[in-house]
Amino acid sequence: MKAMAPLAEACGLSATPATKNCAAIYSRKRHVLIGISPFNSRFSDEYVTRLIRWAAATFESFDVLLAGDESALQLEAIGTPEGKARYKARRAVRRNRRSVDEALRQLGPTPPDTRVVSISDFADDPTYRKFKAAGEEAFRADTAFRSSCLEMAQKAILGRLRTVHGSTEPVSESQAAHAAEYVLAELPFFLETPTVLGVEESLLAYHQPWKLGEQIFAGRFSIAAHPAQGYLTVTETL
């Protein structure tokens, strides 16, 4: 889809590339993968609609990434029984999908190859499994990488505790390790979208900076990102 700057600006969103390489990828505007999170009030119907319109107006093509059953791990980490956590996760992801589907319907014609996928859709995909296994191996063998993954998981758990229980109680390492499985499940889409989705180059777009990714891009761990993979922090301007 041809980029349309005025329409993109009208969406009230701007994007900041994480690195110089990300900026170079962004300058070509070939593909973006929009990350949509469950259990997050940021992703209202209105916000998702603006995200979709921004992507369509800015990039030649775009896809949307939803969470999968793995998102239940965050709920399990704060004590939610497995079955109940799985039910809540699936319900939240269905809600996200409805928001995306409605946004696409309102947009009208979209690139014919636009996809709305969830992480769980790739559970049996050999390419995805290869990169997920690489992340899991780095988690076991690279102390610094493991520590950063646990920190990311811990912050997510604290956010859930504040939302659900109004609590800021300490998060144990075992809780963080359980939730970190979700971090590792989504990692292939943060680092290897060109390979996993079969696109020339791509940017993962999300509303918060990605500290773990910045460290990966800086070469601080044994695991690396595809050279055609970038990251954008999307912020509201309205």
Active site residues: 37
- Phi/psi at 52 (nearest 5 deg)? -65, -45
CA dihedral 89→92→98→99, nearest 10 degrees, is -130
What single letter denotes the amino acid at residue 149?
C
Nearest Cα neighbor of 212 from 236, 180, 171, 169 is 180
Instruction: Give the count of beta carbons closer than 10 Å to the beta carbon of residue 78.
Output: 21
Q: Helix 143-165 and helix 126-141: axis angle, to 10°?
A: 100
What single letter denotes the amino acid at residue 205?
A
- The residues facing 117 across adjacent strands are 65
Q: Residues 204, 226: contact at Cβ < 8 Å?
A: no
